Amino acid sequence: MKRSRINDIMDQTDEMIRSHGFTLPPFAYWTPEEFKARESDARHVIDVRCGWDITDYGDGDFDKMGLFLFTLRNGLQSDLAKGGGMCYAEKLLISRQDQLSPMHTHVLKAEDIINRGGATLVVELFGSDDAGGFAEDRGGVVWLDGIRHSFNPGEKLRLAPGESVTLRPGDWHAFWGEGGDVLIGVVSTVNDDETDNIFRDPIGRFAEVQEDVDPTHLLVSDYSKWLG
């Protein structure tokens, strides 16, 4: 993705987030130079990769397959391992109309996916085989707003604003906006986008950035380059 497109998406999505009554934290608006100057104070944000995340999954067509994410808070893998402390994470996502977030599951992370506003969020579900792989012929169990729901393979949930689904490791899922763009909240156990996203098809998690202009704000995938 071109950096200029990423900068534009940041501006557009910030407007949408504000239109639904949400505001991103102050560090979201730091310039790269401000981030470098406050690197020591922002050590936790950097280490757990809070911040902007805009991806086309390496496919090169963001409008067709892509996702906007902002990690608001994230816990520590060490706390999760010992079973106490900061074991949670929270994100805001925007799924555009008919924009696919492709089929995947997680090894460790359980998550609530919440329609925070906008159009309908479609979540397509499949179960796992005995080895944890994608199973085209298996369903499973999820929770819709806390209510148990048995799903058939390939079932498509349609979540209206305010509705949610709880997914556990091994629940294979893809999602997209139907009838318009959707603001999504995700509340989960500690999030590790480097190792805990298992895709059905061989795709990348992060976009390859073409630096045609300077970044307005850093992506989480920029931290290793710009910051220590």
Residue 153 to residue 129: CA distance in whole angstroms: 12
Beta bridge partners of 125: 155, 173
pLDDT score, position 193: 87
Residue 115 to residue 134: CA distance in whole angstroms: 25
| Mean pLDDT calculated for residue range 194-217 | 91
50-105, pLDDT tens digit by residue? 999 999 998 889 999 999 999 999 999 999 999 999 999 999 999 999 999 999 99
| Mean pLDDT calculated for residue range 135-162 | 98
Residue 156 to residue 199: CA distance in whole angstroms: 18
The answer to whether the CB of 47 falls within 8 A of the CB of 228 is no
The answer to whether the CB of 106 falls within 8 A of the CB of 197 is yes
- 197 to 33, 200, 213: CA distances (angstroms): 31, 10, 30
Residue 37 to residue 21: CA distance in whole angstroms: 30
Q: What percent of the chain has pLDDT over 70?
A: 100
Beta bridge partners of 112: 166, 187
pLDDT score, position 40: 95
- Per-residue pLDDT band for 207 (boundaries 50, 70, 90) equals confident
- 50 to 30, 94, 191: CA distances (angstroms): 13, 16, 10
- Domain 3-226 indexed as CATH 3.40.50.620: no
Average pLDDT along the chain: 95
Beta bridge partners of 92: 70, 185
Does residue 149 surpass a pLDDT of 70? yes
| Tokens encoding 210 | 């073409």
Does residue 228 surpass a pLDDT of 70? no
Predicted TM-score of the model (pTM):
0.95
Closest CA to 13 of 92, 74, 71: 92
pLDDT greater at residue 48 or residue 193: 48
| Mean pLDDT calculated for residue range 20-24 | 96
